[in-house]
Amino acid sequence: MAENLQLVLVQQDQERLDKLADVRKDEEAWVHQRKYEQSRRRYLGEDVLKNTGSAVVWWLTRYCNSRRPPQTAGARWTTASVAESSTVPSSSQAPSPD
């Protein structure tokens, strides 16, 4: 059985291996970034922007604490209708203001 083996690389071979390792690492990072972007587009397209109601609900969950949503009865009525993906009522069907 062989013992105490040593492998010596020529400087050019070591540089080539270093470059290949850098390229492999860059490619792995790029693949992860691409998957992240694809996942984000899928989430926005299939979940958030699926319909007007889901977009409104998404917006409210993200910004309700930092920005105040519309407070008038008509605006609440419209927001609720959109969130339920039902037809937005005309102003004559909306409840009277609080």
Asked if residue 55 lies in contact with residue 44, where contact means CB atoms within 8 angstroms, the answer is no
Which tens digit of pLDDT belongs to each residue from 42-92? 998 888 888 878 887 887 787 776 655 555 555 655 666 666 666 655 555
Tokens at 65, concatenated: 């604490």
Q: What is the pTM of this model?
A: 0.52
Asked if residue 92 lies in contact with residue 70, where contact means CB atoms within 8 angstroms, the answer is no
> If DSSP codes are grouped into helix, strand and coil, which group holds residue 84?
coil
Domain boundaries, the chain: 12-50, 52-91
CB atoms < 10 A from the CB of 56, how many?
19
